[in-house]
Amino acid sequence: EAGVTQFPSHSVIEKGQTVTLRCDPISGHDNLYWYRRVMGKEIKFLLHFVKESKQDESGMPNNRFLAERTGGTYSTLKVQPAELEDSGVYFCASTRTSGRSNEQFFGPGTRLTVL
């Protein structure tokens, strides 16, 4: 079974540019989570999809961030326009159901650097 994959692994952009991160969850996993770790800080929740619906987007920093999951398969996270403080590692995780006992499987992360 393939794990959670993320693309790109690393992105370097200039302030004001747009970047789109992609996450492919494990096949059959309805639940998809985005997290972010800013350097030196803890990993923080951004949002949660159940299939194509946003279940919880309470962690999204502001309206420069847009997440989608059309068709309930892969998800994209777009940052437009990017700011310096958006730099960090963006993680994606998936689970089959959102039950409390389910382990979240994490992707390798995308390291975003905004110059």
Partner 1 sequence: AQSVSQHNHHVILSEAASLELGCNYSYGGTVNLFWYVQYPGQHLQLLLKYFSGDPLVKGIKGFEAEFIKSKFSFNLRKPSVQWSDTAEYFCAALSGNTGKLIFGQGTTLQVKP
Residues at the site binding partner 1, with contacts judged by CB under 8 A = 3-4, 31, 33, 35, 41-45, 48, 55-56, 59, 91, 93, 95, 98-104, 106-109
Residue whose entry in the numeric block shows the structure tokens 């393939």 = 2
User: What does the DSSP assignment read for 10-57?
Assistant: EEEE-TT--EEEEEE--TT--EEEEEEE-TTS-EEEEEEEETTEEEE-
Q: Which is nearer to partner 1, 46 or 79 (CB)?
A: 46
Q: How far is the CB of 39 from partner 1 (least distance, A)?
A: 11
User: Contact, 21 vs 111, CB < 8 A?
Assistant: no
Pairing type for strands 88-95 and 43-50 reads unpaired
Q: Which is nearer to partner 1, 64 or 111 (CB)?
A: 111
Q: Which is nearer to partner 1, 71 or 99 (CB)?
A: 99
Q: Which is nearer to partner 1, 15 or 51 (CB)?
A: 51
Q: How far is the CB of 107 from partner 1 (least distance, A)?
A: 6
